Structure 1
Amino acid sequence: MSFGRLERAQGAKPFSDINVTPLVDVMLVLVVIFILTAPLLASSIRLDLPSSEAARPAEAAASVAVALDAQGGLFIDGQPVDLPQLATRLSEAAAARPDTEVQLRADRSVPYGRVVEIMGAAQQAGLNRIGFVAEAPAR
């Protein structure tokens, strides 16, 4: 036994290394996020298609919107008309541009015969492209 100063235990030395555990946790979370979102970002099929002059998109065709409401009202481009006025307007559209498309919107309660009348008026005017507009089903 010696007299004098008592020996003290050494204190903890400062830890000078970086704690990587939180960094690894954050990186794993980011990897999971990328794994989940990658299929959503690549939703289209990537194809290497051959090129052709015929594949060029044609000029967008003009269109005329014809609507039939549940009460039997007839509208062309949002303006109310009757059947003779519709025939006149469709003839004017056909004279201006023969490839004009008639976009027909009809209420589901409109009788089929009324829809056929409108189709006949469009064909008599010289417009043979008729598109039926419908809503997508609710999910």
Structure 2
Amino acid sequence: MQVGKKKKPYDEINITPMLDLAYVLLIIFIIMTTAAVQGIKVNVPKASSSVSLAKPTTKAITVDSSGAVYLDTFPVSLDELESQLRSFKQVTPDFPVVIKGDRVAQFGRIAEVLDICGRVGITQLGIVTERTKA
């Protein structure tokens, strides 16, 4: 037995568990951000060219195939739509609105939405279409 041998201090840090934790957190972050993409799925009609009105203040109004109306993925009635658009108009007078109507939606419902936008005084209005394959 060696009498005078001293123990060396443990001066190395094992970083493997920290790297495992970092990788798990990275994977969770990637999964959560891809799962957070929101929207209502509709079949939009095709057009020869599309112009994007994507701005941070753009409001999206969606009319699905059953005639339900959504404002930024939240279901609303036509009266609620008008009141919310009026409140947005007071905050930002020149905000754009994009209407996404399902291809099989009744045109009367889309016309009602367009009429509401006209009554509120929205001047920047767009309709979402799908590009045709050239």
Q: Is TM-score (shorter-chain normalized) higher than 0.5? A: yes
**Unaligned 5+ runs, structure 2:** 1-54
Aligned with 1:105: secondary structure?
strand
Q: What is the correspondence of 1:36-55 to structure 2 with a 5 Å cutoff? A: none
Give the structure-1-normalised TM-score. Answer: 0.53
Match status 1:125 vs 2:127: no
What is the distance in 2 between the residues matched to 1:109 and 1:85? 24
Runs of 4+ in 1 over 3 A off after TM superposition: none
Alignment of 1:1-139 (within 5 A): 62-138=57-133
Equivalent pair of 2:67/2:106 in contact (CA under 8 Å): no
Give unpaired runs (5+ residues) of structure 1. 1-59
Rg larger for: 1
Relative to the length of structure 2, the TM-score reads 0.55
Between the aligned partners of 2:77 and 2:133, the Cα distance in structure 1 is 33
Matched length: 80
Post-superposition offset of 1:138: 4.5
Partner of 2:82, secondary structure, is helix
